């Protein structure tokens, strides 16, 4: 048996009025892996996360998080979780360090507060009131609060919203350090390059069902990863999938290179869109 940190089998959630938010979702997250949960607005992703965190009851199905049904999880169980929500309430007047030290005291084996502040790039702001920070800096505080307790399982809900490109890269380095320490991470993000960079496996939820599940480099199957050759001919855009794009390009170029010729190797974003249609936004 694999050492599963999260086990979900046939998860269903029906809201008042007969609205089926989840219709038989199943997946497993193994110890030490980073798992991305992707899906458009209204797909059921947020409902799934809230059930795993113990904030929402399910209608039916089996759910275990760290060996416990979240519906019955007590304080000891909650102390083993780290949660970075998509949005937080009003910023407190406390300084960054005061807030981190306050939260660290709730946990049996917290990280060093100053090390956490440095890890999220806020050393120069450690004595600054959180109310005076920019939106991106407050987001870093959210991440710091999520990891200060040294969680076994970390929920990251849109963690890099408001980060500039350099800050995002620094955050990715932080996540890699957590991965090296064996932290299990459940990531939701609308940055699909972030999911591809950090996750070993991903699930795509659409319309309350599991549309795809697998390793990042295998998601969607072999057919979904066949390159696409696209060009313009007689004023119309044409494209063809082929496992040998070089041969097709050579054939098209016998009388000169076609207009706007490009070879596209499908990315995670392309595969994602093939499952959810034209819904571009991937948020919780």
Per-residue pLDDT of the chain (284 residues; tens, 9 = 90+): 458 999 999 999 999 888 899 999 999 999 999 999 999 888 899 899 999 999 999 999 999 999 999 999 999 999 999 999 876 666 788 999 999 999 999 998 999 999 999 988 899 999 999 999 988 788 889 989 999 999 999 999 888 877 778 878 888 888 898 999 899 999 998 888 899 999 999 999 998 999 999 998 888 777 777 888 889 988 899 888 888 888 988 888 887 888 889 888 877 888 888 788 644 443 33
Vertex 78: Cα angle to 35 and 206 (nearest 5)? 35
What is the reported pTM? 0.82
CB of 196 within 8 A of CB of 243? no
CA separation for the pair 13, 11 (Å, rounded) = 7
**Residue 252: other Cβ atoms inside 10 A:** 17
CB of 154 within 8 A of CB of 184? yes
In our burial notation (b when 16+ CB lie closer than 10 A, e otherwise), range 205-242 reads: bbebebbbbeebeebbeeeebebebebeeeeeeeeeee
Provide the 3-class DSSP secondary structure of residue 242: coil
Outline where the chain has alpha helix (H). 45-53, 75-78, 96-104, 113-119, 135-147, 165-180, 192-198, 221-224, 245-252, 268-276
**Residue 114: other Cβ atoms inside 10 A:** 13
CA separation for the pair 195, 212 (Å, rounded) = 14
């Amino acid at each position: 048996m694999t050492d599963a940190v999260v086990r979900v089998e046939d998860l269903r959630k029906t809201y008042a009025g007969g609205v089926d938010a989840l219709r038989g979702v199943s997946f497993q997250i193994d110890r030490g892996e980073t798992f991305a949960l992707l899906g458009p607005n209204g797909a059921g992703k947020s409902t799934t996360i809230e059930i795993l965190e113990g904030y929402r009851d399910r209608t039916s199905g089996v759910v275990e998080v760290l060996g416990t049904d979240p519906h019955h999880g007590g304080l000891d169980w909650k102390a083993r979780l780290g949660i970075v929500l998509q949005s937080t309430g009003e910023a407190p007047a406390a300084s960054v360090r005061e807030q981190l030290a306050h939260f660290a005291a709730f946990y049996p084996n917290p990280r060093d507060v100053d090390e956490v502040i440095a890890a999220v790039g806020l050393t120069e702001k450690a004595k600054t009131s959180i109310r005076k920070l920019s939106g991106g800096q407050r987001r870093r505080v959210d991440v710091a609060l999520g990891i200060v307790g040294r969680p076994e399982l970390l929920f990251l809900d849109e963690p890099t919203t408001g980060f500039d490109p350099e800050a995002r890269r620094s955050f990715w380095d932080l996540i890699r350090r957590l991965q090296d320490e064996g932290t299990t991470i459940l990531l939701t993000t609308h940055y699909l390059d972030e999911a591809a960079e950090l996750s070993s496996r991903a699930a795509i939820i659409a319309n309350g069902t599991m549309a795809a599940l697998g390793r990042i480099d295998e998601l969607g199957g072999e057919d979904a990863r066949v390159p696409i050759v696209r060009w313009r001919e007689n004023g119309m855009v044409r494209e063809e999938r082929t496992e040998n794009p070089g041969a097709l390009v050579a054939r098209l170029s016998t009388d000169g290179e076609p207009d706007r010729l490009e070879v596209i190797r499908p990315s995670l974003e392309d595969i994602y869109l093939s499952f959810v249609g034209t819904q571009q936004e991937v948020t919780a």
